[in-house]
Amino acid sequence: MFLGRRAPVRLGGDRASLAGFAARPAREPGCGESRRAVSATLSLVVTWFGRRKKRVEVPRLRSRSDPPANVNRVALGELTPALMPFLGQAAYLQLSIFEALGRAVATAPTADAKEAVSRVAATSLAKHHRLVAEIERKGGTAGAAMAPYTERIDHYRSITRGDDWFELVTACYLTAGILDDFYLSLSTGLPDDSARRIAEVFASEPGDEILARELQSAIDANPRLASRLALWGRRLVGDTLLIARSALAMPPTTAKDEEKLEPVVTEVIAAHTRRMDAIGLTA
């Protein structure tokens, strides 16, 4: 389950494939995105990530409390960006998650919901501050480290904010989980003196269970929300994997590197599916 502390996502088989996501229904018209645009985005994800010809047997997922296997470092080491670009992107993504959660606090329908989401926002801001501290430890400044990535990440947030409070909270819940899982796996390729501290940031308490309770309560009160939020969750995964992939140090099309990346992606999607299951949505 997603509850509790995170641990690196195992590089293994998949419960869900990128092609599977591309084949599923796009978000319905009237929810803010056209069917054609969603289909194009997910098709691009499939093209970028590639796919093995042979079907991969799905192994048992390693517990999130287990340390990463050596094979993880070998597979991701060449794809992990240099330390400062990694930190700049990760820090700004955490700041963007905090901003999204802040909007969710401001527009929450009840005082109880405001208080609950504010606790998750505080957790996200604390992660951002820890990453900034690591930037400064290495002699950099937060603004300079994050500046090259602000436009791309701001655009990503603008297309994943949703049309109402329920979609906004769903986006915070699902995208923060995907990005934390991805960056946690990617951190195994960083220098040893930084890798441990950075991994602890992404393995720290995410606040998933708080957002899950708010969403489950909303769905229980209005079951018609379930189908809309399920479609929205499918829509989010494509855009989030694209922004995660943009952090990698790899050429646009390299079959060998795509093969290294595929197990990471399939495990991240498996974790995404478990988060969807946890609130009763079909991934």
- Give the Cα separation of 164 and 151 in Å (integer): 23
Q: Which residue has the tokens 């994800």?
A: 45
Q: Which residues contact 53 (CB under 8 A, 6 or more apart)?
A: none
Output the tens digit of pLDDT for each of the chain's 283 residues: 334 444 444 433 443 333 333 334 444 444 444 444 444 444 444 444 444 433 333 233 333 334 444 434 445 667 889 999 999 999 999 999 999 999 999 999 999 999 999 999 999 999 999 999 999 999 999 999 999 999 999 999 999 999 999 999 999 999 999 999 999 988 988 988 899 999 999 988 778 899 999 999 999 999 999 999 999 999 999 999 999 988 887 766 566 666 767 787 888 889 999 999 999 988 6
Q: Which two tokens stand for residue 180?
A: 């934390």
Phi and psi torsions of 59, nearest 5°: -85, 175
Domain 18-49+68-278 has CATH 1.20.1260.10: yes
- The reported pLDDT for the residue numbered 255 is 66
Q: Which residues lie closer than 8 Å to 213 by C-beta, 6 or more apart?
A: 116
The amino acid sitting at 73 is R
pLDDT of residue 268: 86
Q: How is residue 38 written in tokens?
A: 């969603």
Determine the pLDDT at residue 249: 78
Orientation of helix 150-159 relative to helix 225-245, angle to 10° = 170
Find, among 151, 148, 158, 157, the residue nearest to 88 by Cα: 148
Q: How remote is the C-alpha of 217 from its chain's centroid?
A: 23
Start-to-end CA distance of the chain, whole Å, equals: 15
Asked if 44 and 53 count as a contact pair (C-beta separation under 8 A), the reply is no
SS3 196: helix
User: Coil, strand, or helix at residue 82?
Assistant: coil
CA distance 169 to 189: 31
Say if residues 147 and 95 touch (Cβ distance below 8 Å).
Answer: no
Longest dimension (CA), the chain: 52
Residue of 255, 258, 226, 220 lying closest to 241 (CA atoms): 258
Q: Measure the CA–CA gap between 72 and 167, rounded to whole angstroms.
A: 34
**Is pTM beyond 0.85 here?**
no
Contact present, 7 and 180 (Cβ < 8 Å): no
How many residues comprise the chain? 283
